[in-house]
Amino acid sequence: MKDESLNDAIISVKDLKKSFGGTEVLDGVDLDVYKGDVIAIIGPSGCGKSTFLRCLNCLEDPSGGSIFFEGEDLADMKVDINVHRQKIGMVFQQFNLFNNLTVLQNIMLAPVTVAKKNLRATKRKNFFIKVSNIFKKKDNKKELLPLGKTKAEFTEDAKNKAMELLGKIGLTEKADVYPSTLSGGQKQRIAIVRALAMNPKVMLFDEPTSALDPEMVGEVLDLIKKLANEGMTMVIVTHEMGFAREIATRVLFMADKGIAEQGTPEQIFEHPQNPRTIQFLNAVL
Amino acid sequence: MKTSWNLFKTQFITYGGYKTVLNGLLTTVEIAVFGLIIGVIIGTLIAIVKVMPKYKKLPRVLDKICTVYVAFFRGTPMVVQLLLGYFVLLPSLGIAADGVTVAITIFGLNSGAYVSEMMRSGIQSVDGGQLEASRALGLTYWTSMMKVVIPQSVKNILPTLGNEFISLVKETSVVSFIAVVDITKAFRSIGDANYEYIIPYLMLAAVYLILVLLITWGIKVMERRMKRNER
Ligand SMILES: Nc1ncnc2c1ncn2[C@@H]1O[C@H](COP(=O)(O)OP(=O)(O)OP(=O)(O)O)[C@@H](O)[C@H]1O
Ligand SMILES: [Mg+2]
Protein backbone atom coordinates (compact mmCIF):
# COMPACT_ATOMS: atom_id res chain seq x y z
CA MET A 1 0.00 0.00 0.00
CA LYS A 2 1.68 3.17 -1.17
CA ASP A 3 0.22 6.37 0.23
CA GLU A 4 1.43 9.26 -1.93
CA SER A 5 -0.07 11.84 0.37
CA LEU A 6 2.58 10.96 2.93
CA ASN A 7 5.59 13.22 3.05
CA ASP A 8 8.90 12.10 1.61
CA ALA A 9 10.29 10.86 4.90
CA ILE A 10 12.30 7.62 4.70
CA ILE A 11 10.78 6.45 7.95
CA SER A 12 7.56 7.86 9.27
CA VAL A 13 6.31 6.76 12.68
CA LYS A 14 2.72 7.56 13.64
CA ASP A 15 1.33 7.15 17.13
CA LEU A 16 3.53 4.12 17.86
CA LYS A 17 2.57 2.07 20.90
CA LYS A 18 4.36 -0.87 22.41
CA SER A 19 3.70 -2.89 25.51
CA PHE A 20 5.26 -6.07 26.87
CA GLY A 21 2.61 -8.22 28.49
CA GLY A 22 0.71 -5.65 30.51
CA THR A 23 3.40 -2.99 30.85
CA GLU A 24 3.33 -0.13 28.41
CA VAL A 25 6.77 0.99 27.24
CA LEU A 26 5.90 3.35 24.38
CA ASP A 27 2.67 5.34 24.20
CA GLY A 28 2.10 7.34 21.06
CA VAL A 29 5.48 8.16 19.53
CA ASP A 30 5.63 10.18 16.30
CA LEU A 31 8.76 10.71 14.25
CA ASP A 32 9.75 11.50 10.69
CA VAL A 33 13.24 10.61 9.53
CA TYR A 34 14.35 12.44 6.39
CA LYS A 35 17.26 11.74 4.09
CA GLY A 36 20.51 12.95 5.63
CA ASP A 37 19.09 13.21 9.15
CA VAL A 38 21.35 12.18 12.01
CA ILE A 39 19.02 11.66 14.93
CA ALA A 40 20.44 11.05 18.39
CA ILE A 41 18.15 9.49 20.98
CA ILE A 42 19.05 10.09 24.61
CA GLY A 43 17.22 9.35 27.82
CA PRO A 44 17.36 7.48 31.11
CA SER A 45 17.93 3.73 31.23
CA GLY A 46 14.77 1.68 30.71
CA CYS A 47 12.77 4.47 29.08
CA GLY A 48 12.27 2.50 25.87
CA LYS A 49 15.02 3.78 23.56
CA SER A 50 16.04 0.30 22.38
CA THR A 51 12.44 -0.79 22.11
CA PHE A 52 11.67 2.20 19.91
CA LEU A 53 14.67 1.54 17.67
CA ARG A 54 13.81 -2.16 17.39
CA CYS A 55 10.26 -1.31 16.36
CA LEU A 56 11.63 0.62 13.38
CA ASN A 57 12.75 -2.60 11.66
CA CYS A 58 10.10 -4.78 13.32
CA LEU A 59 12.49 -6.70 15.55
CA GLU A 60 9.72 -5.86 18.00
CA ASP A 61 6.14 -5.92 16.76
CA PRO A 62 4.42 -2.61 17.56
CA SER A 63 1.26 -2.99 19.64
CA GLY A 64 -0.36 0.00 17.96
CA GLY A 65 0.15 2.85 15.52
CA SER A 66 2.01 2.52 12.26
CA ILE A 67 5.47 2.73 10.76
CA PHE A 68 5.93 3.72 7.14
CA PHE A 69 9.15 2.94 5.34
CA GLU A 70 9.40 4.90 2.09
CA GLY A 71 5.64 5.29 2.26
CA GLU A 72 4.84 1.60 2.80
CA ASP A 73 3.10 0.50 5.96
CA LEU A 74 5.26 -2.18 7.57
CA ALA A 75 2.27 -3.63 9.41
CA ASP A 76 0.63 -4.47 6.08
CA MET A 77 0.46 -8.24 5.77
CA LYS A 78 1.43 -8.09 2.10
CA VAL A 79 4.67 -6.27 2.84
CA ASP A 80 7.74 -8.53 2.91
CA ILE A 81 9.51 -7.28 6.02
CA ASN A 82 12.75 -8.95 4.92
CA VAL A 83 12.95 -6.72 1.85
CA HIS A 84 12.63 -3.65 4.07
CA ARG A 85 15.15 -4.87 6.57
CA GLN A 86 17.63 -5.20 3.72
CA LYS A 87 17.42 -1.41 3.40
CA ILE A 88 17.68 -0.71 7.14
CA GLY A 89 21.09 -1.40 8.65
CA MET A 90 21.24 -2.16 12.35
CA VAL A 91 24.18 -2.10 14.73
CA PHE A 92 23.87 -3.65 18.18
CA GLN A 93 25.49 -2.91 21.50
CA GLN A 94 26.86 -6.48 21.63
CA PHE A 95 28.16 -6.41 17.99
CA ASN A 96 26.55 -9.80 17.18
CA LEU A 97 29.07 -10.81 14.55
CA PHE A 98 28.34 -14.36 13.40
CA ASN A 99 30.76 -16.50 15.40
CA ASN A 100 30.75 -19.38 12.91
CA LEU A 101 31.83 -17.22 9.97
CA THR A 102 35.03 -15.36 9.13
CA VAL A 103 35.00 -11.58 8.92
CA LEU A 104 34.70 -11.70 5.13
CA GLN A 105 31.90 -14.29 5.30
CA ASN A 106 30.11 -12.14 7.89
CA ILE A 107 30.06 -9.21 5.48
CA MET A 108 29.22 -11.27 2.37
CA LEU A 109 26.48 -13.48 3.82
CA ALA A 110 23.51 -11.16 3.38
CA PRO A 111 24.37 -9.66 -0.05
CA VAL A 112 25.12 -13.08 -1.55
CA THR A 113 22.09 -14.79 0.00
CA VAL A 114 19.75 -12.07 -1.19
CA ALA A 115 21.21 -12.07 -4.71
CA LYS A 116 20.88 -15.87 -4.84
CA LYS A 117 17.29 -15.66 -3.74
CA ASN A 118 16.47 -13.03 -6.37
CA LEU A 119 18.12 -15.10 -9.07
CA ARG A 120 16.08 -18.14 -8.05
CA ALA A 121 12.88 -16.07 -8.06
CA THR A 122 13.59 -14.79 -11.58
CA LYS A 123 14.30 -18.31 -12.80
CA ARG A 124 11.04 -19.49 -11.26
CA LYS A 125 9.10 -16.70 -12.98
CA ASN A 126 10.78 -17.51 -16.29
CA PHE A 127 9.74 -21.12 -15.91
CA PHE A 128 6.09 -20.10 -15.59
CA ILE A 129 6.40 -17.73 -18.53
CA LYS A 130 7.81 -20.60 -20.61
CA VAL A 131 4.97 -22.89 -19.55
CA SER A 132 2.29 -20.30 -20.33
CA ASN A 133 4.02 -19.52 -23.67
CA ILE A 134 3.29 -23.07 -24.79
CA PHE A 135 -0.38 -22.16 -24.91
CA LYS A 136 0.09 -18.82 -26.66
CA LYS A 137 0.17 -17.96 -30.35
CA LYS A 138 3.55 -17.48 -31.95
CA ASP A 139 3.43 -13.67 -32.11
CA ASN A 140 1.88 -13.42 -28.66
CA LYS A 141 4.63 -15.08 -26.61
CA LYS A 142 5.89 -13.30 -23.53
CA GLU A 143 9.56 -12.33 -23.23
CA LEU A 144 11.65 -14.03 -20.57
CA LEU A 145 12.98 -11.84 -17.78
CA PRO A 146 16.70 -11.05 -17.92
CA LEU A 147 18.62 -13.17 -15.38
CA GLY A 148 21.20 -10.50 -14.59
CA LYS A 149 24.41 -11.56 -12.93
CA THR A 150 25.42 -15.18 -12.48
CA LYS A 151 26.17 -16.60 -9.07
CA ALA A 152 29.92 -16.39 -9.66
CA GLU A 153 29.60 -12.76 -10.73
CA PHE A 154 27.58 -11.47 -7.80
CA THR A 155 29.69 -13.43 -5.34
CA GLU A 156 32.77 -11.75 -6.81
CA ASP A 157 31.03 -8.37 -6.56
CA ALA A 158 30.10 -8.96 -2.94
CA LYS A 159 33.66 -9.95 -2.16
CA ASN A 160 35.11 -6.86 -3.82
CA LYS A 161 32.65 -4.66 -1.99
CA ALA A 162 33.45 -6.37 1.33
CA MET A 163 37.19 -5.93 0.82
CA GLU A 164 36.66 -2.30 -0.14
CA LEU A 165 34.65 -1.73 3.07
CA LEU A 166 37.32 -3.50 5.12
CA GLY A 167 39.88 -1.24 3.47
CA LYS A 168 37.87 1.78 4.55
CA ILE A 169 38.22 0.73 8.19
CA GLY A 170 41.80 -0.47 7.78
CA LEU A 171 41.09 -4.13 8.57
CA THR A 172 41.76 -5.85 5.23
CA GLU A 173 44.24 -8.20 6.87
CA LYS A 174 41.47 -9.48 9.19
CA ALA A 175 39.31 -10.73 6.32
CA ASP A 176 39.89 -14.41 6.99
CA VAL A 177 39.94 -14.55 10.78
CA TYR A 178 37.04 -15.47 13.05
CA PRO A 179 35.38 -12.82 15.25
CA SER A 180 36.64 -14.38 18.50
CA THR A 181 40.15 -13.14 17.71
CA LEU A 182 39.13 -9.48 17.36
CA SER A 183 39.02 -6.62 19.83
CA GLY A 184 35.67 -5.04 20.70
CA GLY A 185 36.38 -1.96 18.64
CA GLN A 186 37.33 -4.05 15.62
CA LYS A 187 34.20 -6.17 16.03
CA GLN A 188 31.93 -3.15 16.15
CA ARG A 189 33.54 -1.51 13.13
CA ILE A 190 33.11 -4.76 11.20
CA ALA A 191 29.49 -5.00 12.36
CA ILE A 192 28.98 -1.51 10.93
CA VAL A 193 30.45 -2.34 7.54
CA ARG A 194 28.52 -5.62 7.50
CA ALA A 195 25.35 -3.51 7.61
CA LEU A 196 26.76 -1.09 5.02
CA ALA A 197 27.37 -3.95 2.58
CA MET A 198 23.61 -4.04 1.93
CA ASN A 199 23.63 -0.35 0.86
CA PRO A 200 21.01 0.59 3.45
CA LYS A 201 18.90 3.75 3.16
CA VAL A 202 19.15 4.30 6.88
CA MET A 203 21.30 2.98 9.73
CA LEU A 204 20.07 2.28 13.26
CA PHE A 205 22.61 2.19 16.10
CA ASP A 206 21.70 0.93 19.57
CA GLU A 207 24.36 2.19 21.98
CA PRO A 208 27.16 1.16 19.63
CA THR A 209 29.93 2.01 22.10
CA SER A 210 28.43 0.96 25.44
CA ALA A 211 30.04 -2.49 25.48
CA LEU A 212 33.49 -1.19 24.55
CA ASP A 213 36.57 -0.55 26.64
CA PRO A 214 37.09 3.21 26.89
CA GLU A 215 40.16 3.21 24.64
CA MET A 216 38.15 1.71 21.78
CA VAL A 217 35.18 4.07 21.88
CA GLY A 218 36.96 6.66 19.76
CA GLU A 219 37.59 4.46 16.71
CA VAL A 220 33.93 3.45 16.51
CA LEU A 221 32.62 7.00 17.00
CA ASP A 222 35.05 8.22 14.31
CA LEU A 223 33.65 5.72 11.84
CA ILE A 224 30.07 6.79 12.61
CA LYS A 225 31.08 10.43 12.18
CA LYS A 226 32.63 9.58 8.84
CA LEU A 227 29.33 8.03 7.73
CA ALA A 228 27.44 11.09 8.90
CA ASN A 229 29.74 13.31 6.85
CA GLU A 230 29.12 11.13 3.81
CA GLY A 231 25.42 11.88 4.20
CA MET A 232 24.19 8.58 5.64
CA THR A 233 20.81 8.82 7.33
CA MET A 234 21.10 7.54 10.90
CA VAL A 235 19.21 7.05 14.12
CA ILE A 236 21.58 6.59 17.05
CA VAL A 237 20.72 5.68 20.62
CA THR A 238 23.66 6.81 22.69
CA HIS A 239 24.91 7.75 26.13
CA GLU A 240 27.80 9.74 24.61
CA MET A 241 26.44 13.25 25.03
CA GLY A 242 29.44 15.00 23.48
CA PHE A 243 29.14 12.81 20.43
CA ALA A 244 25.39 13.38 20.12
CA ARG A 245 25.90 17.09 20.34
CA GLU A 246 28.64 17.06 17.73
CA ILE A 247 27.07 15.00 14.96
CA ALA A 248 23.29 15.03 15.46
CA THR A 249 21.04 17.18 13.30
CA ARG A 250 18.26 16.47 15.79
CA VAL A 251 18.27 15.21 19.36
CA LEU A 252 15.33 13.35 20.90
CA PHE A 253 15.02 13.09 24.64
CA MET A 254 12.88 10.10 25.59
CA ALA A 255 11.08 9.75 28.92
CA ASP A 256 7.65 8.78 30.18
CA LYS A 257 6.84 6.35 27.33
CA GLY A 258 7.57 8.79 24.56
CA ILE A 259 9.59 11.69 23.20
CA ALA A 260 9.58 14.27 25.98
CA GLU A 261 11.51 16.90 24.08
CA GLN A 262 13.25 17.27 20.74
CA GLY A 263 15.23 19.85 18.89
CA THR A 264 18.64 20.80 17.57
CA PRO A 265 21.61 19.81 19.74
CA GLU A 266 21.86 23.40 20.79
CA GLN A 267 18.22 23.57 21.86
CA ILE A 268 18.43 20.37 23.85
CA PHE A 269 21.84 20.78 25.44
CA GLU A 270 21.96 24.59 25.91
CA HIS A 271 18.33 25.53 26.41
CA PRO A 272 16.34 22.49 27.51
CA GLN A 273 12.74 23.36 28.34
CA ASN A 274 11.30 20.17 29.85
CA PRO A 275 12.18 19.72 33.53
CA ARG A 276 12.78 16.01 32.83
CA THR A 277 15.40 16.91 30.24
CA ILE A 278 17.07 19.37 32.59
CA GLN A 279 17.12 16.81 35.38
CA PHE A 280 18.56 14.11 33.06
CA LEU A 281 21.25 16.35 31.60
CA ASN A 282 22.28 17.52 35.06
CA ALA A 283 22.72 13.93 36.09
CA VAL A 284 24.80 12.79 33.11
CA LEU A 285 26.85 15.86 32.17
CA MET B 1 39.01 -73.75 26.40
CA LYS B 2 41.35 -75.34 23.89
CA THR B 3 38.50 -77.14 22.17
CA SER B 4 36.27 -74.06 22.18
CA TRP B 5 39.04 -72.17 20.46
CA ASN B 6 39.57 -74.93 17.91
CA LEU B 7 35.87 -75.21 17.18
CA PHE B 8 35.68 -71.44 16.70
CA LYS B 9 38.72 -71.41 14.43
CA THR B 10 37.31 -74.11 12.20
CA GLN B 11 33.94 -72.40 12.01
CA PHE B 12 35.45 -68.92 11.51
CA ILE B 13 38.08 -69.74 8.93
CA THR B 14 37.49 -73.13 7.34
CA TYR B 15 33.73 -72.80 7.01
CA GLY B 16 33.90 -69.10 6.02
CA GLY B 17 32.40 -67.67 9.23
CA TYR B 18 34.61 -64.60 8.82
CA LYS B 19 32.61 -63.60 5.75
CA THR B 20 29.36 -63.58 7.74
CA VAL B 21 31.07 -61.59 10.47
CA LEU B 22 32.49 -59.01 8.06
CA ASN B 23 29.13 -58.61 6.33
CA GLY B 24 27.44 -58.36 9.73
CA LEU B 25 29.89 -55.67 10.82
CA LEU B 26 29.20 -53.74 7.64
CA THR B 27 25.45 -54.00 8.23
CA THR B 28 25.78 -52.81 11.81
CA VAL B 29 27.84 -49.79 10.77
CA GLU B 30 25.55 -49.09 7.84
CA ILE B 31 22.40 -49.03 9.98
CA ALA B 32 24.02 -46.86 12.66
CA VAL B 33 25.59 -44.36 10.24
CA PHE B 34 22.56 -43.87 7.99
CA GLY B 35 20.29 -43.96 11.02
CA LEU B 36 22.27 -41.12 12.57
CA ILE B 37 22.24 -39.07 9.36
CA ILE B 38 18.47 -39.40 9.03
CA GLY B 39 18.14 -38.76 12.77
CA VAL B 40 20.15 -35.53 12.59
CA ILE B 41 18.10 -34.26 9.65
CA ILE B 42 14.76 -35.09 11.28
CA GLY B 43 15.94 -33.94 14.70
CA THR B 44 17.08 -30.58 13.31
CA LEU B 45 13.77 -30.02 11.54
CA ILE B 46 11.80 -30.87 14.69
CA ALA B 47 14.03 -28.63 16.81
CA ILE B 48 13.50 -25.70 14.45
CA VAL B 49 9.74 -26.20 14.63
CA LYS B 50 10.00 -26.32 18.43
CA VAL B 51 11.88 -23.01 18.76
CA MET B 52 9.95 -21.23 16.00
CA PRO B 53 7.85 -18.22 17.04
CA LYS B 54 4.26 -19.45 17.35
CA TYR B 55 2.19 -16.46 16.20
CA LYS B 56 0.89 -18.17 13.08
CA LYS B 57 -1.24 -21.27 12.78
CA LEU B 58 1.14 -23.45 10.75
CA PRO B 59 3.97 -23.49 13.32
CA ARG B 60 1.45 -24.42 16.03
CA VAL B 61 0.08 -27.34 14.00
CA LEU B 62 3.60 -28.51 13.16
CA ASP B 63 4.50 -28.25 16.83
CA LYS B 64 1.64 -30.58 17.79
CA ILE B 65 2.65 -33.12 15.16
CA CYS B 66 6.25 -33.06 16.38
CA THR B 67 5.15 -33.53 19.98
CA VAL B 68 3.17 -36.66 19.09
CA TYR B 69 6.05 -37.95 16.98
CA VAL B 70 8.61 -37.52 19.75
CA ALA B 71 6.25 -39.02 22.35
CA PHE B 72 5.73 -42.14 20.22
CA PHE B 73 9.35 -42.82 19.41
CA ARG B 74 10.60 -42.11 22.91
CA GLY B 75 7.72 -43.91 24.58
CA THR B 76 7.99 -47.31 22.89
CA PRO B 77 10.90 -49.77 22.77
CA MET B 78 13.05 -49.86 19.66
CA VAL B 79 12.29 -53.55 19.12
CA VAL B 80 8.56 -52.84 19.09
CA GLN B 81 9.08 -50.08 16.52
CA LEU B 82 11.12 -52.45 14.35
CA LEU B 83 8.46 -55.17 14.60
CA LEU B 84 5.67 -52.71 13.82
CA GLY B 85 7.56 -51.38 10.83
CA TYR B 86 8.55 -54.72 9.40
CA PHE B 87 5.56 -56.93 10.15
CA VAL B 88 2.67 -54.43 10.28
CA LEU B 89 3.40 -51.25 8.34
CA LEU B 90 5.23 -52.76 5.35
CA PRO B 91 2.67 -55.47 4.56
CA SER B 92 -0.29 -53.15 5.06
CA LEU B 93 1.22 -50.56 2.74
CA GLY B 94 2.20 -53.27 0.28
CA ILE B 95 5.79 -52.07 0.11
CA ALA B 96 8.57 -54.54 -0.58
CA ALA B 97 11.67 -53.57 1.37
CA ASP B 98 14.42 -55.62 2.94
CA GLY B 99 15.15 -55.70 6.66
CA VAL B 100 18.19 -53.42 6.41
CA THR B 101 16.18 -50.65 4.76
CA VAL B 102 13.48 -50.96 7.40
CA ALA B 103 16.08 -50.95 10.15
CA ILE B 104 17.79 -47.81 8.79
CA THR B 105 14.43 -46.06 8.50
CA ILE B 106 13.25 -46.99 11.97
CA PHE B 107 16.62 -46.15 13.56
CA GLY B 108 16.58 -42.82 11.73
CA LEU B 109 13.04 -41.99 12.85
CA ASN B 110 13.76 -43.10 16.41
CA SER B 111 17.04 -41.23 16.63
CA GLY B 112 15.35 -38.11 15.20
CA ALA B 113 13.16 -37.98 18.29
CA TYR B 114 16.19 -38.00 20.59
CA VAL B 115 18.36 -35.72 18.46
CA SER B 116 15.54 -33.14 18.35
CA GLU B 117 15.83 -32.63 22.11
CA MET B 118 19.61 -32.26 21.94
CA MET B 119 19.36 -29.95 18.97
CA ARG B 120 16.80 -27.82 20.72
CA SER B 121 19.00 -27.24 23.73
CA GLY B 122 21.89 -26.65 21.31
CA ILE B 123 19.89 -23.95 19.52
CA GLN B 124 18.88 -22.37 22.80
CA SER B 125 22.51 -22.24 23.88
CA VAL B 126 23.31 -19.96 20.92
CA ASP B 127 23.13 -16.27 21.87
CA GLY B 128 19.84 -14.75 20.69
CA GLY B 129 21.72 -11.80 19.25
CA GLN B 130 22.99 -14.04 16.45
CA LEU B 131 19.51 -14.70 15.09
CA GLU B 132 18.52 -11.08 15.62
CA ALA B 133 21.51 -9.74 13.70
CA SER B 134 20.77 -12.10 10.84
CA ARG B 135 17.09 -11.15 10.71
CA ALA B 136 18.02 -7.46 10.90
CA LEU B 137 20.07 -7.91 7.71
CA GLY B 138 16.88 -9.05 5.97
CA LEU B 139 17.58 -12.79 5.94
CA THR B 140 14.59 -15.08 6.48
CA TYR B 141 14.09 -17.09 9.64
CA TRP B 142 14.94 -20.29 7.77
CA THR B 143 18.15 -18.94 6.21
CA SER B 144 19.22 -17.45 9.52
CA MET B 145 18.76 -20.79 11.26
CA MET B 146 20.58 -22.76 8.58
CA LYS B 147 23.50 -20.39 8.02
CA VAL B 148 24.07 -18.93 11.47
CA VAL B 149 22.31 -20.66 14.36
CA ILE B 150 22.39 -24.39 13.52
CA PRO B 151 26.13 -24.49 12.66
CA GLN B 152 26.89 -22.98 16.07
CA SER B 153 24.51 -25.26 17.92
CA VAL B 154 25.93 -28.37 16.23
CA LYS B 155 29.33 -27.38 17.56
CA ASN B 156 27.85 -27.05 21.05
CA ILE B 157 26.18 -30.45 20.99
CA LEU B 158 28.85 -32.45 19.20
CA PRO B 159 29.75 -34.49 22.32
CA THR B 160 26.07 -35.37 22.92
CA LEU B 161 25.64 -36.28 19.27
CA GLY B 162 28.64 -38.57 19.67
CA ASN B 163 26.89 -40.31 22.56
CA GLU B 164 23.78 -40.72 20.44
CA PHE B 165 25.87 -42.37 17.73
CA ILE B 166 27.40 -44.71 20.30
CA SER B 167 24.02 -45.77 21.64
CA LEU B 168 22.76 -46.27 18.09
CA VAL B 169 25.65 -48.62 17.36
CA LYS B 170 24.89 -50.64 20.47
CA GLU B 171 21.12 -50.65 19.92
CA THR B 172 21.48 -52.09 16.43
CA SER B 173 22.12 -55.44 18.15
CA VAL B 174 18.33 -56.05 18.17
CA VAL B 175 17.84 -55.97 14.40
CA SER B 176 17.90 -59.77 14.14
CA PHE B 177 14.27 -59.52 15.29
CA ILE B 178 13.45 -58.51 11.73
CA ALA B 179 15.78 -61.04 10.08
CA VAL B 180 18.75 -58.75 9.57
CA VAL B 181 22.17 -60.34 9.98
CA ASP B 182 24.22 -57.81 11.91
CA ILE B 183 27.41 -58.42 13.84
CA THR B 184 25.53 -59.89 16.82
CA LYS B 185 23.57 -62.31 14.67
CA ALA B 186 26.75 -63.24 12.77
CA PHE B 187 28.63 -64.29 15.91
CA ARG B 188 25.59 -66.05 17.29
CA SER B 189 25.30 -68.16 14.14
CA ILE B 190 28.94 -69.18 14.56
CA GLY B 191 28.17 -70.23 18.13
CA ASP B 192 24.97 -72.00 17.04
CA ALA B 193 26.97 -74.26 14.72
CA ASN B 194 28.51 -76.16 17.68
CA TYR B 195 26.53 -74.77 20.60
CA GLU B 196 29.84 -73.28 21.73
CA TYR B 197 29.35 -69.60 22.60
CA ILE B 198 32.24 -68.52 24.82
CA ILE B 199 34.67 -67.36 22.18
CA PRO B 200 32.10 -65.91 19.72
CA TYR B 201 30.41 -63.78 22.39
CA LEU B 202 33.68 -62.57 23.88
CA MET B 203 34.78 -61.59 20.39
CA LEU B 204 31.43 -59.87 19.83
CA ALA B 205 31.85 -57.77 22.96
CA ALA B 206 35.36 -56.84 21.84
CA VAL B 207 34.13 -55.72 18.41
CA TYR B 208 31.49 -53.41 19.93
CA LEU B 209 34.04 -52.03 22.36
CA ILE B 210 36.49 -51.26 19.57
CA LEU B 211 33.74 -49.58 17.52
CA VAL B 212 32.76 -47.39 20.43
CA LEU B 213 36.36 -46.45 21.20
CA LEU B 214 36.90 -45.53 17.56
CA ILE B 215 33.85 -43.25 17.57
CA THR B 216 34.91 -41.61 20.82
CA TRP B 217 38.30 -40.88 19.35
CA GLY B 218 36.75 -39.56 16.11
CA ILE B 219 34.53 -37.14 18.00
CA LYS B 220 37.53 -35.84 19.97
CA VAL B 221 39.44 -35.17 16.76
CA MET B 222 36.46 -33.36 15.23
CA GLU B 223 35.96 -31.23 18.29
CA ARG B 224 39.59 -30.23 18.35
CA ARG B 225 39.51 -29.33 14.68
CA MET B 226 36.39 -27.19 15.13
CA LYS B 227 37.94 -25.34 18.03
CA ARG B 228 41.11 -24.65 16.08
CA ASN B 229 39.03 -23.33 13.17
CA GLU B 230 37.81 -20.43 15.23
CA ARG B 231 41.03 -19.29 16.75
N1 LIG C 1 11.35 -8.41 25.68
C2 LIG C 1 10.90 -7.71 26.73
N3 LIG C 1 10.00 -8.24 27.56
C4 LIG C 1 9.52 -7.55 28.62
N5 LIG C 1 9.91 -6.30 28.93
C6 LIG C 1 10.83 -5.71 28.15
C7 LIG C 1 11.36 -6.38 27.01
N8 LIG C 1 12.25 -5.56 26.41
C9 LIG C 1 12.25 -4.43 27.15
N10 LIG C 1 11.40 -4.50 28.18
C11 LIG C 1 11.14 -3.44 29.18
O12 LIG C 1 10.81 -2.28 28.48
C13 LIG C 1 11.41 -1.14 29.08
C14 LIG C 1 12.23 -0.40 28.06
O15 LIG C 1 13.36 -1.16 27.71
P16 LIG C 1 14.44 -0.67 26.68
O17 LIG C 1 15.45 -1.74 26.55
O18 LIG C 1 13.77 -0.22 25.45
O19 LIG C 1 15.07 0.57 27.44
P20 LIG C 1 16.32 1.45 27.06
O21 LIG C 1 15.87 2.86 27.04
O22 LIG C 1 16.94 0.96 25.82
O23 LIG C 1 17.28 1.25 28.29
P24 LIG C 1 18.89 1.15 28.34
O25 LIG C 1 19.41 2.55 28.30
O26 LIG C 1 19.16 0.50 29.65
O27 LIG C 1 19.32 0.32 27.18
C28 LIG C 1 12.22 -1.66 30.26
O29 LIG C 1 11.47 -1.44 31.42
C30 LIG C 1 12.36 -3.12 30.00
O31 LIG C 1 12.39 -3.84 31.21
MG1 LIG D 1 18.79 -0.05 25.36
Q: Where are the domains of chain B?
A: 2-230
Please enumerate in sequence order all residues whose Cβ is within 8 A of that of B217, keeping only pairs 6 or more positions apart, or say none.
none
Q: What is the pLDDT of residue B16?
A: 83
Cβ of A96 and B137 within 8 Å? Answer: no
Q: What is the pLDDT of residue A1?
A: 46
CA of A74 to the centre of ligand 1 (A): 22
Cβ of B138 and A98 within 8 Å? Answer: no
Mean pLDDT for B116-130 is: 95
Neighbours of B224 (CB within 10 A): 10
Range scoring the smallest mean pLDDT among A267-281, B5-19, B38-52, B135-149: B5-19
Ligand in closest contact with the CA of A254: 1
- Protein residue closest via CA to atom 26 of ligand 1: A45
Put simply, the chain B residues between 40 and 99 with a CB less than 8 A from any chain A CB are none
Chain A CB contacts of B138 under 8 Å are 82-87, 110, 114, 198
Q: What is the pLDDT of residues A80-130, one digit of tens each?
A: 999 999 999 999 999 999 999 999 999 999 999 999 999 999 999 999 999
Q: What is the pLDDT of residue B229?
A: 65
Q: What is the pLDDT of residue B1?
A: 63
Between CA B45 and CA B123 the distance in angstroms is 12
Single out the residue of B54, B65, B27 nearest to residue B207, CA to CA.
Answer: B27
Q: What is the pLDDT of residue A169?
A: 96
CA of A216 to the centre of ligand 2 (A): 20
Between CA A43 and CA A55 the distance in angstroms is 17
Is A38 in contact with A249 (CB distance < 8 Å)? Answer: yes
- CA distances for A227 relative to A189, A196, A200, A224, B158, angstroms: 12, 10, 12, 5, 42
Is the pLDDT assigned to residue B113 strictly greater than 70?
yes
Reported ipTM: the value is 0.91
- Who wins on pLDDT, B156 or B64? B64
Q: What is the pLDDT of residue A137?
A: 82
- Residue of A98, A102, A181, A205 to mutate, testing the B interface (most B Cβ within 10 Å of its Cβ): A98
Please determine, looking at this structure, whether the domain spanning B2-230 carries the CATH number 1.10.3720.10. Answer: yes
Average pLDDT per 10 consecutive residues for chain A, totaling 285 residues: 63 95 93 96 95 95 93 85 95 96 97 95 92 85 86 95 96 95 96 97 97 95 96 96 95 94 95 95 89
First-to-final CA distance of chain B: 55
